[in-house]
Chain A
Amino acid sequence: MLKKSNLILVTLGITLMAFVPNCKKGAATATLASDAASRVYVAPGEKDEVYAFLSGGFSGQMSVYGIPSARLFKIIPVFSVFPENGYGFDEETKDMLKTTHGYVPWDDSHHVEASMTDGKQDGRWMFLNANNTPRLARIDLKSFETKEILEIPNTAGNHASPFATENTEYLMAATRFSVPVPQASVAIDSFSKGGFKGTVTMVKVDKNTGRLSIELQVLVPGFNYDLSHCGKKKSHDWCFFSSYNSEQAHKMLEVGASKKDKDFILAFNWVRAKECKDQGKAYNFGGEYVNNFHDENKPAVSTKLSGVKMLNPKDCPGMMYYMPTPKSPHGTDVDSTGEYIVGGGKLASVIPVHSFSKMMEVKDKKEHHSTEIEGIPVLKYESTLAGEVQKPCLGPLHTEFDGQGYAYTSCFVSSEVVKWKLGTWEVVQHLPAYYSVGHLSIVGGSSSEPYGKYLIAMNKITKDRYLPVGMELPQSAQLYDISSGKAELLSDFPTVGEPHYSQMIPAKLLMDKTAKLFPLEENKHPYATKNENDAKIVRLGSTVHIYMTAIRSHFKPDIIEARTGETLYFHVTNLEQDYDIPHGFAIGGAPNMTNLLIMPGETRTFKWVAPKPGVYPFYCTDFCSALHQEMQQYIRVSP
């Protein structure tokens, strides 16, 4: 067993450095492919080969890049308000950010998951987690817009989320911060006495509509559940969660949670869990939560829900097993065949790989159990071990697979990506990363059929890579070509927010399916105005509804009269039916509302309380035509 103090850890680090052959200092080893520039160059008019969807970490957003050019195409607001297009401000989308804590217009978004059919990316939806205020979102890949947000009750820190089963039957969501479940004011030191719990949540995804609902929660020991990946093919029924702080320390976790030599990967049989629920073994449990759904061209509907079905592991034998894994495992990744479960022990000196077949063979044999924690058998480390990658690097975190029998693991402490071979556990290549790399992403790399070719490394620190821009440097990712035997660095690119995790999808799966416009005749918005002749102003006491149309290059009605204190709702319908002709709408000095970007055929509502008397201009903010600058008018406010 290794000793645990920072000093010793650093010493250990330095010692290990000596073992790692290629692990020299940063840029000195930058082996840039000599023709890298031409391999990332996408000529004017040509299109990129791959879409990359990167979560923004603390930005609460998701961004879309083209690969290999690494050009930023779009920022999709998910959990954060977005003044650029009014997301989270206007009457249509403000309810998307409602939670049981009220309106929470930000979050900490880590993991992007792509919907799959038969383990292959199907290009229908992206899912994103909200760690801070536990939520899970579905982004539609036709409109590239957030369509649904589901709050997860009885949990804190929704970090191990949203990882999908092979057919997107369910998304998994597990606790990062164990807390009293149900919430209560208890002494913090009762954590170590089992007073804190975690939950694993199965979120059901409707096959046709994608609508989200909570199927079941499982009450698990109060560890910190960090990441997850679900099985594929033979391991289809299972999902795997890494955990740390099995010590259940509640202060100075830096030391307290790093004591034990091994923490666990939790193996969870979700098919068995559903079976136990159907047999009535789950009980009714409390928990308030909110589901927000934004249907096309309608105001979002926010629904308050309460209560879930809760299951205790001891009431459902065969559902959960702990596999000891060194040491404070962070990532847990399942290879494309579904056989190997790779742990990323962030303090470990090996990369441990569990074998699914071995686990199946030994899981119910007592002689392979070392103990049991709250009804969950703990299997012996050696019993499920397929092998260990010896001395790969420092701080191995996350692993992705290229479908050719190779795995790529990111190493945070030694800032590199190691390529190693499944089965022989031999390291075949060290690739420097700039710097402190977190997740990796290979095109289709977490599916059962990777498309391979490109790998991006998502870094936490940039230092000398770009022009300095003050104290906070651009966040960064790096692109590697992994199509040939030797992976090659192609480029660095700055990103929006922290590029935490990503899903990359071949462009041909998405590009022809994206929506070009909303057909006006299908606009079901209650305040839609589909014809300029129907534009009107309706007064109901001190509330004024303005049914407004926007088309190149004017609004109708264009002169508005109001009185101080009246509430005006501008329901603006964009009458255009042409690709890429949104119109904007903004009023000078509107304090609680930003801008609207209204897509062709769409209706959105700007709420404005008439301020002190005066004349207030309103105008189109999206350069729409030669006469865009003339697309402006006035509201007169009288006393």
Chain B
Amino acid sequence: MKTLLFQTLSKRNRLLILGVGLVLILVYLIPIWSISISAPQYPEGLGMQIWINKITGATPYDLKNINLLNHYIGMQEIVSESIPELLFMPYVLAYLIFGAFITELYPKVGMAILGIINLVIVGLVGLSDFWRWEYNYGHNLNPEAPIIVEGMAYQPPLLGCKEMLNITACSYPSYGGMILGLSLVVLVYILWDENRRKKSNVV
């Protein structure tokens, strides 16, 4: 095990990690997650996108219109400023990218494992935080809301689609989220590849 941790990465795997670092920079420029809403009166659909540092509508007016819909059921207004996670998420991403570049100076398999651990933690914490955020928005309803349906909550799904009254809400990773997922896959592949290399060296 120890030998594997300190095994120097192959040239190809170093390049792959460098690639992961570079591609992760894109996550600053594209949304990570997207929630889309469709209802009979919105045939063209409404969409919301979660970026590393902000929440926007799929069109310039979608977020405003989602909030307008939500106010009838007493949901809080969704504004980027009220979500503290968005303040430190960019630094977490910077840390991941930094890690990938450091690996070029210290190209050991252990660094790849550290990357996997980091990504898994970021993913798990991120998803559970996202779920908590959705839960709060969906359950913390204004008791003076115009429309109150007994026992109804409006928590969107974490992943997949869900019907809420006449609205179908779907939640899926967007390109940024896919990049994060793909990075994890690449790192796991590298680990598998290095492990195989170690075995063949021993033999």
Contacts and interface: CB of A to CB of B under 8 A. Distances in A.
A552 B68 contact: yes
Interface in A499-555: 517, 519, 551-553
B72 A626 contact: yes
Contact of B147 (A576, A578, A626): A626
B61 interface: yes
B146 interface: yes
Most chain B beta-carbon contacts within 10 A, residue among A517, A576, A578, A630: A578
A517 B44 CA distance: 15
Interface residues of A, number: 13
Interface residues of B, number: 10
Nearest to B46: A578
A626 B60 CA distance: 24
A578 B65 contact: yes
A255 to B, nearest CB: 61
Given A551-B68, A627-B72, A577 B61 contact: yes
A576 B61 CA distance: 9
Interface string B48-89: 000000000000110011001001100000000000000000
Residues of A contacting B: mostly: loop
Given A626-B72, A627-B72, A577 B64 contact: yes
Nearest to A45: B43
Contacts of B64: 577-578
Contact of A577 (B65, B146, B147): B65
A174 to B, nearest CB: 46
A537 B156 CA distance: 41
Contacts of A579: 44
B37 to A, nearest CB: 13
Contacts of B60: 519, 577
B61 A578 contact: yes
Nearest to B147: A626
Given A517-B61, A626-B147, A627-B146, A578 B68 contact: yes
B58 to A, nearest CB: 13
A553 B68 CA distance: 9
A530 to B, nearest CB: 12
A54 to B, nearest CB: 28
Interface string B173-195: 00000000000000000000000
A626 B147 CA distance: 9
Contacts of A625: 72
A577 B57 CA distance: 12
A232 B4 CA distance: 83
Contacts of A576: 68
Contacts of B146: 553, 626-627, 630
Nearest to A575: B64
A224 B65 CA distance: 57
A625 B147 CA distance: 12
A220 to B, nearest CB: 54
A577 B60 CA distance: 9
Contacts of A626: 72, 146-147
A577 B72 CA distance: 17
Contacts of B44: 579
A573 to B, nearest CB: 14
Contacts of A517: 61
Interface in A585-639: 625-627, 630
A579 B147 CA distance: 23
Nearest to B68: A552
A579 B62 CA distance: 11
Which 4 A-B residue pairings sit nearest by Cβ, starting from the closest?
Answer: A577-B61, A578-B65, A577-B64, A552-B68
19 contacts: A517-B61, A519-B60, A551-B68, A552-B68, A552-B71, A553-B146, A576-B68, A577-B61, A577-B64, A577-B65, A578-B61, A578-B64, A578-B65, A578-B68, A625-B72, A626-B146, A626-B147, A627-B72, A627-B146
Given A551-B68, A578-B65, 4 more contacts: A552-B68, A577-B61, A626-B146, A626-B147
Interface of B: 44, 60-61, 64-65, 68, 71-72, 146-147
